Amino acid sequence: MSIKQKKTKARLPRGFVDRTGVELQVLEAMTAQIHEVYELYGFEALETPIFEYTDALGKSLPDVDRPNAGVFSLQDDDEQWMSLRYDLTAPLARYVAENFEVLPKPYRSYRLGYVFRNEKSGPGRFRQFMQLDADIVGAPTVAADAEVCMMAADSLDKLGFKRDEYVIRLSNRKILDGVLENIGLGENEQSDKRLIVFRAIDKLDRLGLEGVRLLLGDGRLDESGDFTKGAGLADDQIECILSLLRARNETTEETINNLKNIVDRNVCGLEGIRELEEMQEIFVANGYKDCMRIDPSVVRGLDYYTGPVFEAELCNKLSFGSIGGGGRYDGLIARFRDDNVPATGFSIGLSRLIAILQNVGKLRVNAKTGPVVVLMMDQEPGSIARYQNMVMQLRNAGIRSEVYLGESGIKAQMKYADRRCAPCVVIQGSQERDRGEVQIKDLVEGARLATEIKDNQTWRESRPAQITVKENQLVQAVQDILGK
């Protein structure tokens, strides 16, 4: 008796997703639309590898005690550590530093690619996801920050969102830095605690104020039983930070006044407020006031930000957090050079955006996404050649098409065409072949008429959405159907 070999279980790694044809079509269309906006703003394309040397990526994402936490890493044959990029900004910093002398400055670039995070996954939170970034390197004023925010708004407009369907929330790391200085956590003091504070505030949307309070204190136990160590701040320190998170008000003016009261006379904090006021003036002057909102709770989770920070989110209850964000990072390129190089940018999370659109039923898909299918009515060599000639004519006319190459009958072939979202099918049996004709069934129109014609006999007798044409009229007839 033979022993049955145990099969490997087909399973997808946690935090990763397979994407099918429709999603990839949507992704390609969204990317093309955003690229068009970026090009209008004068940005040029750049591609960097998905792997970088681990020391070049830095430790902006992981925990301070574990250099490889949060990223996927390996050693190459030279025993050098390499990591999959966790964002598209750190590789840009390396590229700019390496090519600094030959690049025009300010340098405007956009990049598209997958990034990888070795962290806990959840709804809309993946370990591999597609981002589309745009950055300006070498521009020191907040006019550059305002421009990338306006470009992000234009990108969402281009994707079909209305101005009341999204908001870009803004703050400034300098304001939080000022508050931290006031409570004894200046930039050069207890950097590990500062980083925990940044991470805690960045989780506000998911955990709420009480969850953030726990992370600013001793720590938090989540639903799974995992304990996250907190910053260990005193109650008065925690309350000062929480007052900043509660500072947002109905109007920009009231929010600004609240912030001025909170930072008191701290120079760094007041500078951050002034920069937000300058950005707001630019938004008002250019018609972007309604989609921009100053929100002190925005900090961004990466620790390389040094000035204005921003996040874009959709205005619906099913949103999985931000769909994009960015900010100013004037010190990141200085890791490779002796001088600071000012830089700012914005990243749109395409994978998360698609997940949200699927969840709310707003993933825009053209009903005619599949190929025209020529059905295989018989397997005779001469017939197969004729079917292949039909698709060749259609393809030569720029029409996506295929011959059914399975072994099933006509009913199963029609189901196949339906599952492929074919706009129509081409049928030629022996009788049609003898007459030099083909039948064409318009599947889209047929599906529509099926809701109107309820009687089965009437349906069979009328044969709606089905035409018969001469072979030499095939291409024109299909073009007419596709053009409806």
How many Cβ atoms from other residues are within 10 Å of residue 86's Cβ? 23
Give Cβ neighbours of residue 268 (< 8 Å, ≥ 6 apart).
174, 177, 178, 181
Q: Amino acid identity of 472?
A: N
Nearest to 183 by CA among 273, 303, 269, 270: 269
Rounded distance between C-alpha atoms, residue 48 and residue 113, angstroms: 9
Residues flagged as binding site: 87-89, 117, 131, 135, 300, 304-305
Asked if 37 and 324 count as a contact pair (C-beta separation under 8 A), the reply is no
Asked if 18 and 84 count as a contact pair (C-beta separation under 8 A), the reply is no
Q: 400 in helix, strand or coil? A: coil
Rounded distance between C-alpha atoms, residue 385 and residue 429, angstroms: 14
DSSP string across 162-174: -GGGEEEEEEEHH
H or E element that contains 201? helix 191-202
Burial class (CB in 10 A: 0-12, 13-18, 19+), 13: exposed
Asked if 353 and 131 count as a contact pair (C-beta separation under 8 A), the reply is no
Asked if 140 and 74 count as a contact pair (C-beta separation under 8 A), the reply is no
Distances (CA, A) of 295 to 8, 106, 312, 331: 50, 28, 12, 24
How many Cβ atoms from other residues are within 10 Å of residue 361's Cβ? 7
Asked if 94 and 150 count as a contact pair (C-beta separation under 8 A), the reply is no
Q: Amino acid identity of 373?
A: V
Q: In what order do the strands lie in the sheet with 466-470?
A: 401-403, 372-374, 424-427, 437-442, 466-470
Nearest to 234 by CA among 183, 269, 175, 194: 183
Residues flagged as binding site for L-histidine: 87-89, 117, 131, 135, 300, 304-305
Nearest to 425 by CA among 453, 462, 466, 383: 466
Asked if 313 and 166 count as a contact pair (C-beta separation under 8 A), the reply is yes
